[in-house]
Structure 1
Amino acid sequence: MLSSWHKIAYIIIKIILMDTVITHKTNKKKYLIMALPIFLILGYFIFTSVTKKRSLNIKKEEITIKTVEEGFFEDFLVFQAQVEPMNSMLVNIIEGGAVQEIFVGNGDMVVKGQPLARLYNPNSELNYMQQETSIIEQINNLNKAKLDLRNQELSLAKDLISIEHDYLDAKNLYDLNKKLFDQEILAKNEWQITQENFRFQKERMNIIKQSVTKEKQANQIQIGQLNQSIAIMDKSLSILRSNKKNFLITAPQSGRLSSFEPILGKTYTQGVSIGTIDVMKGYKLVADVDEFYLDKIKMNQKGTVEFNGKPLDIEIVKIIKEIKSGQFQVELNFASAENIDLQQGLSFSVRLNLSEKTKSTLLSKGSFNQETAGKWIFVVKGNKAERRTIKLGRENPLYYEVLDGLKVGEKVITSSYKDYKEVAVLNLE
């Protein structure tokens, strides 16, 4: 607009100064007097064109107009949550292998210990057989060692009996010869031989008894150690044989089988989960919430969901503050104790209350805020909409809280301002 006025001024000046030769001062003065009003008029138009607010003509059907209201503002959050069982347990592969048989299907009700599928792994089975053979061989060796100790004890017992018999013979002979010697019937040298033999047999018996006692004590310790080793080996054998049964996958608890989709012939590695058993004793809601609300969501906050046309009260029972992909996870329980017939995987729209209701000036939410950041808005008056500075406060999925700049009953444009960012006045057609 300013460039067109420049062109007009240029043409006027060119006309005034068309003559290149000015011979008289009176003509020069005459021209200046004629040009002065033109320059004043031109300056006025230039000034007004610069200071005039930029406007744009738009059609009413292209925009959204809302009325500023007075009402109760409630800070709440709306997000989607899915139904999950209150308690569940994973069905894990304890011993890896290829699926040989499948006995149940996904969604079936199962009881604890019920077979679900059978795996096959020839290498693991061969390894189990080798380990079992080795353990049995070790147990046999330990039992043989224990038997040898028992036999050694028996041999010592036999030797002790024989020695005690020799001692008794020597003692009887000693008693008899003592009487004979006292009666001077037995020669002195015979009596001395009898005494020496009795002394020898007595000391021999005492030494052997002490040796046998110590040997028995040592054997008892060894036998006790062998029994402990045998017990450990028996336990290892029992665990090994129990592990052989891990190729048969059974239900760890009673409930409904979910996410169970094994494929015949497919090999699964140890530790992999192939399903979940849901305990059908209550449900909870699990949701991913934007990290912006991490400091706003607290334990035991109340909310509602719609089920079969009626609201159900819920509350926050767990907040997992680990941020993943800009979101964190929360768990909610149903406040009602009544039995609700739900299904896993159902999705609910949760309305979570973040504050109490307060009376405020309210403005409906719209895409205008993307360009204005809540600092200004177009206020509609008749067939015009003028730009005005405002201040917004809290927001919820439906409304902004107006702190300054707008009054109840005023109409504003809430649709996108993408094409109006540099415009001050909109002419509504």
Structure 2
Amino acid sequence: MPPTKNRRRFALAGVALAALALVAYAGPKLLGQFGGGASVGLARLSLATVEIGPLTRDIAAEGRVVAANSPTLFAGNPGSVSLSVQAGDQVKRGQVLLKIASPELTARLGQERANADALQSEWLRAQADSRQQRAQAQSQLETAQISFKTAQNELARQTQAFQAGATAAAQVDQARDTQAKAQVALKQAQELLGLKDDALKFELQAKRQAFERQALMVKDVERQVEELNLRSPVDGQVGQLFVIDRASVAKDAKLLSVIDLSALEVQIQVAESLARELTPKMAGEISGGADQKWQGLLSSVSPEVVNGEVAARLRFAGQQPEQLRQNQRLSVRMLLDHRDKVLTLSRGSFVEEGGGHFAYVLQGDQAEKRAIKLGVQSLAKVEVLEGLKAGEQVVISGADNFKDAQRVNISR
């Protein structure tokens, strides 16, 4: 055989061997991408059918019963504490819970009362002095009136006598001068009485205001003394004691808490991402068991975020159940949104694994990777906006076995 033909045969054999090696190396990857390789059993997958129906977005959480009103009492003044109740005792509104002994405040009350009595005495004395001074001014005015009247009468007699020729003109002039002096004295006495009334009025007003100001000081100290007897602001139960009997406390020290059991709420922890969708008076369902369900309304949402969660509270929409107790565990379901006749798919791991951007759709004996777009999501379902049609079956769990292949054979 000629050498040229042998070389050609060897070259063709080398190309064939290279092609076989390339197929052996790349074949499994191509089969994995386009099917025809190893298949995945249907039993290892979870399927769901795309449907048209209602979609309800809600929040499910575990809650605990808390008091809607749980006031904490503080010390208004320093002193020694004397407890009248213990933690867990039932109390009534206005009942004395503890007393604080404060010798300093008691002594101050006595001093303020003594000052008030002294100012009251000064006010009463000023009233007596004003009456006396006015009486003197009134007496001077009346004396001036009498003197003026006498001078008028004397002038009239002298005038008549002069006209009859019984007296001289000088006596008439003297009588006229006396009348003028009496008139001036009367006018001064009238003005003096008016000035005296004004001065006495201002002086009495100042004394009275000083006494009333001191009386207000006494009332304020009496209020502080009364606050030494701490009373329950509500009907309920003593919660926690922060002090022990006979202990000395400072001003504004925390003493005890009272739980108002007549108004209970359910507190839940909600993820921060969902908390912004909660609004006051949003409807919710509270359940304590198979046959115990109550309607609730969202009453408050805390503005503080702790460990990625926000505290929210629900109150009972109707009559509060009687069998509830503090810190009892209850289940809560909050309704966020409800939509009718939307394209829905059961929620699965494909939402988290692929970020909701693709899913595997069953096509006969193969699963095809398809781009999708999701809308709102609930705990059980998601809204499908693009990429799927009603009636199609989708792999919602187990797609991690496909190794991100475009097509995968499904063995039944």
- TM-score, normalised relative to structure 1: 0.70
Residue of structure 1 in register with 2:355 after alignment = 373
How many aligned residue pairs are there?
A: 398
Cα RMSD, aligned residues only = 4.6
Partner of 1:41 in structure 2? 20
Q: Give, as a single letter, the amino acid of the residue that structure 2 aligns with 1:38.
A: L
Give the equivalent residue in structure 1 for 2:346.
363
**Which residue of 206, 211, 228 corresponds with 1:230?**
211
Name the CA distance, whole Å, in 2 between partners of 1:209 and 1:125.
Answer: 52
For residues 308 and 154 of structure 1, do their structure 2 counterparts lie closer, same or farther at Cα, with a shift above 3 Å needed?
farther
Provide closer, same or farther for how the CA distance between residues 58 and 144 of structure 1 changes in structure 2, counting only shifts above 3 A: farther
Following superposition of structure 1 onto structure 2, how do residues 102-181 of structure 1 map, counting pairs within 5 Å?
102-122=83-103, 137-138=118-119, 140-164=121-145, 166=147
1:84·1:284 contact (CA, 8 Å) conserved in 2?
yes
Cα gap change, 1:317 to 1:36, in 2 (>3 Å): closer
Which of 3, 6, 11 does residue 32 from structure 1 map onto?
Answer: 11
1:93 lines up with 2:74 in the alignment: yes
Who is 1:83 aligned against? 65
Distance 1:385 1:276 in 2: 66
- The residue type paired with residue 414 of structure 1 is S
Please say if 1:395 is aligned against 2:371. Answer: no
Aligned to 2:230, the other structure's residue is in SS state strand
CA distances 1:266-306 after superposition (whole Å, capped 9, x unpaired) = 525338584245272x5444444333234544555433222
Which of 317, 320, 325 is matched with 1:335 structurally?
317
Partner amino acid, structure 2, of 1:37:
A
Superimposed CA distance per residue, residues 105-145 of structure 1 (whole angstroms, 9 cap, x where no aligned partner): 34444334322222244555555555555555555555555
Query: CA, structure 1 residues 421+108, in 2 after alignment: closer, same or farther (shift >3 Å)?
Result: farther
Are 2:158 and 2:172, in contact at CA under 8 Å, matched by a contact in 1? Answer: yes
5+ residue gaps, structure 1: 1-23
For the structure 1 residues 150 and 274, does the alpha-carbon distance in structure 2 shift closer, same or farther, using more than 3 Å as the test? Answer: farther
- 1:74 is paired with a residue of what secondary structure? strand
Aligned pairs (5 A) from 1:210-225: 210-225=191-206
Q: Are the aligned partners of 2:283 and 2:298 in contact in 1 as well (CA < 8 Å)?
A: no
The residue aligned with 1:259 is 239
Cα-to-partner distance string for 1:340-394 (whole Å, 9 max, x where unaligned)? 443343332111232156575543544x543322344577999x99673363544
1:316 touches 1:330 (CA, 8 Å); kept in 2? Answer: no
The percent identity for this pair of structures is: 14
| 1:306 maps to 2:320 | no
In 2, the alpha carbon distance for the partners of 1:25 and 1:356 equals 79
Preserved contact between residue 393 and residue 402 of structure 1 (Cα < 8 Å): yes
In structure 2, what is the equivalent of residue 290 of structure 1?
Answer: 271
Q: Specify the code of the residue in structure 2 equivalent to 1:215.
A: K
| Contact preservation (8 Å) 1:139, 1:230 | yes
The 3 A distance-change label for structure 1 pair 277 and 299 is closer
1:212 to partner: Cα distance: 0.8
Quote the Cα distance in structure 2 between the aligned partners of 1:111 and 1:334: 24
What CA distance in whole angstroms lies between the structure 2 residues aligned with 1:389 and 1:213?
106
User: In structure 2, do the counterparts of structure 1 residues 230 and 182 end up closer, same or farther at CA, with 3 Å as the change threshold?
Assistant: farther
Task: Check whether the contact 1:68–1:406 (CA below 8 A) recurs between aligned residues.
Answer: no
Does the CA contact (< 8 Å) of 1:99 and 1:117 recur in 2? no
TM-score w.r.t. the length of structure 2 is 0.72
